[in-house]
Structure 1
Amino acid sequence: MLTYILRRLLLIIPTLFGILLINFIIIQAAPGGPVEQMIAKLEGFEGATSRIAGGGAEVAVAGSNYRGAQGLDPELVHEIERMYGFDKPAPERFWLMLKSYSQLDFGESFFRDAKVTDLIIEKMPVSISIGLWSTLIMYLVSIPLGIAKATRHGSTFDVWTSSAIIVGYAVPAFLFAILLIVLFAGGSYFDWFPLRGLTSNNFDELSLGGKVLDYFWHLVLPVTALVIGNFATLTFLTKNSFLDEINKQYVVTARAKGLTETRVLYGHVFRNAMLLIIAGFPAAFIGIFFTGSLLIEVIFSLDGLGLMSFEAAINRDYPVVFGTLFIFTLVGLIVKLIGDITYTLVDPRIDFENREG
């Protein structure tokens, strides 16, 4: 097992390199970079990105490769290039980025006047709050529901709950978010929950109990929208896992010995059926933490990692784009390894080395 872990850790290095290289090449080909945007701003144009991407006359400034710089001093254009690091060729910029990333130095944002690491730390509590509570509630709902559906397979309860789950799965989470706002956040009916932010403006003035209530009060709608839109897969996975185990020979033998259905279900079936579900918890949490809450953050005005990454991509804030890409990819690969290790903790009979052999 130790050899397997070391091999997986070593494979993280080329995987990270490949992902960063592919995205770096794509970014270089995309129009409307930070230099072009700054040139357009200095010339007083609005809609810089669309104008630059849409074409126009080639640059008349000597030594510059950017459109829209006809009226600027060449020295100023070169200074802008130097300020954003574009005075160096692309291979050299990529090498310098890898060198700084190996030291966990992700540079500073082009437009936010802060270090990328500080920005990530600042935005992380919002994303962790949404991801953690959504994942926990999703597991607390999906596992009991999946077990109930497995034990009542084919019944009216199973049919109706499956229909409701499929509807919840088919409708995107952001549509549920909009519906919740219309119904419960002052849209057209009730005004029971806040529409924006993770805390109220007077949060610091509240008592400890008031802060806790205020925090969860703001989380009700975004977490509900995420749970409704994401719990279907886990519910059906739980049901199918239990159905598969219930029909095995050892369950028939346990029943023949006179054990009660509860003892058979939770004493024999539960451990084997929960293998896939428990091992998938880290990946499920990271999935919602990093990717599932982007539109939810936008709709409920939650300033988290998803919203920050989206704005960085739109504004071509390359240090934030690549810094978050590096961290998200690294965490994702490590969590994938943790998920594999979790399999062996849940069921010691699993041996990856023997399987590969």
Structure 2
Amino acid sequence: MLAYIFKRLLLMIPTLFGVLLMTFVVIQFVPGGPVEQMVAQLQGRDTGGEGAAAAGSGYRGRQGVDAARIAEIKTLYGFDKPPVERFWMMLKQFAQFDLGKSFFYPKDVWSLIQEKLPVSISLGLWTFFLSYLISVPLGIAKAVRAGSRFDTLTSLLVLVGYAIPGFVLGVALLVVFGGQLQWFPLRGLTSSNWEQLSWGSKVVDYLWHIALPVLASVLGAFAVITMLTKNAFLEEIRKQYVLTARAKGLSERRVLYRHVMRNALIPLVTGFPAAFIGAFFTGSLLIETLFSLDGLGLLSYESVIRRDYPVVLGTLYLFTLIGLVTKLISDLCYLWVDPRVKFDQ
């Protein structure tokens, strides 16, 4: 097993290198980079108010930017060096876990991630725990009652929920419960006077704000986990060892929870680390935008739109590294759940 772990750790290096290289190459061909944006601002194309104010006096905006100023802008953003040199400098920084500084925020990338992470954690963890706490028991109940009216009705409900996009449900929730009934707030994670509230009032206020975003996010996750649990239990229930356990006189509850569950939950348990870690770092862009939640999803989107390359590459490096480590942990969970697994085979 140690040899397997060592090989997987070594494979992470070329994987990280390939992801960063492909993204860096694509960035070189994307128009509208930070240099072009700064030049556009200096030329007056982004200062509509100034141009409109001087329209009557014949003002036509700054018609050009001299080459020396453009060279200063390129030096400011590090584009005065060849792409190959910039790429290797970036790799050296990442090797020291220095993610660089943002072009448009007066902060480094680490600070931005730490600032936005609590919002994504709040949304992701609630979605993760509610999905598993509801879907796993529901999947077991569906497997035990396979083919019954309960099974058909719950399958219909979870599949309809899966078919409705989260942002569409979010809009409906905002219109009905936030606009018409005014039961829940329309935006934000806390109220403006949150700091002045007591401890109990802060908890209530937080739950009041997070209810609609979590409901919009969690509904689509029910179907996958529920159906996976149901199918895994049905496959185990039909095996020979279950018939043998029943023939020995064991109760149905003991057969189900003592024998079947241990084998049926292998797909869920092995996927648990990836789902848990993903809850910290995978923000829903549309949900965060819809409910005005300033999390990692919104940060990633704005970084791509504004061509904030240090944030794009820094977050990509961090999330890819975490994803690779989580995948390794998920594979090791197979051994923990089922000792029969042999990595050397």
- Structures share fold, TM-score greater than 0.5: yes
How far off is 1:3 after superposition?
A: 1.3
User: For 2:136 and 2:258, how far apart are their aligned partners in 1?
Assistant: 16
* Residue 339 (structure 2) aligned to one of 341, 348, 353: 348
Report which structure shows greater RCO (CA 8 Å, sep ≥6).
2
In structure 2, the partner of 1:124 is 117
* Residue 190 (structure 1) aligned to one of 162, 181, 196: 181
SS at match of 2:44: coil
Letter in 2 for 1:143: V
Unaligned 5+ runs, structure 2: 49-61
Paired residue total? 333
How far off is 1:70 after superposition?
A: 6.3
Matched, 1:113 2:106: yes
Identity percentage over the alignment? 61
User: For 1:104 and 1:45, how far apart are their aligned partners in 2?
Assistant: 37
How far off is 1:46 after superposition?
A: 3.4
SS at match of 2:228: helix
* Residue 304 (structure 2) aligned to one of 294, 313, 324: 313
Q: Is the 8 A contact 2:233 2:260 kept in 1?
A: yes
Counterparts of 1:214-253 in structure 2, within 5 Å, are: 214-253=205-244
Matched, 1:141 2:134: yes
Greater mean deviation of Cα atoms: 256-265 or 344-353:
344-353
Matched, 1:334 2:325: yes
User: For 2:192 and 2:268, how far apart are their aligned partners in 1?
Assistant: 39
Q: Is the 8 A contact 2:124 2:282 kept in 1?
A: no
In structure 2, the partner of 1:3 is 3
CA deviation map 1:176-204 (0-9, x unaligned)? 11111111112xx2111112111111111
How far off is 1:285 after superposition?
A: 3.1
Counterparts of 1:255-270 in structure 2, within 5 Å, are: 255-270=246-261
In structure 2, the partner of 1:57 is none
User: For 1:299 and 1:287, how far apart are their aligned partners in 2?
Assistant: 21
How far off is 1:47 after superposition?
A: 9.9
Letter in 2 for 1:281: F
Q: Is the 8 A contact 2:41 2:47 kept in 1?
A: no
Letter in 2 for 1:3: A
**CA root-mean-square deviation:** 1.6
Q: Is the 8 A contact 1:34 1:317 kept in 2?
A: yes
Q: 1:233 to 1:143 in 2, by over 3 A?
A: same
Counterparts of 1:58-69 in structure 2, within 5 Å, are: none
How far off is 1:220 after superposition?
A: 0.7
TM-score between both structures, scaled by the size of structure 2: 0.93
How far off is 1:290 after superposition?
A: 3.6
Letter in 2 for 1:276: P
SS at match of 2:250: coil
Letter in 1 for 2:24: F
Letter in 2 for 1:94: F
How far off is 1:171 after superposition?
A: 1.2
SS at match of 2:38: helix
CA deviation map 1:121-176 (0-9, x unaligned)? 11111111111111000000110110011001111111111111111111111111
User: For 1:289 and 1:236, how far apart are their aligned partners in 2?
Assistant: 24
Matched, 1:280 2:274: no
SS at match of 1:15: helix
Counterparts of 1:146-225 in structure 2, within 5 Å, are: 146-186=139-179, 189-225=180-216
User: For 1:201 and 1:14, how far apart are their aligned partners in 2?
Assistant: 47
Q: Is the 8 A contact 1:176 1:229 kept in 2?
A: no
User: For 2:145 and 2:232, how far apart are their aligned partners in 1?
Assistant: 14
Q: Is the 8 A contact 1:131 1:286 kept in 2?
A: no
In structure 2, the partner of 1:60 is none
In structure 2, the partner of 1:62 is none
Unaligned 5+ runs, structure 1: 49-68
Q: Is the 8 A contact 2:236 2:260 kept in 1?
A: yes
User: For 1:333 and 1:70, how far apart are their aligned partners in 2?
Assistant: 49
How far off is 1:351 after superposition?
A: 1.9
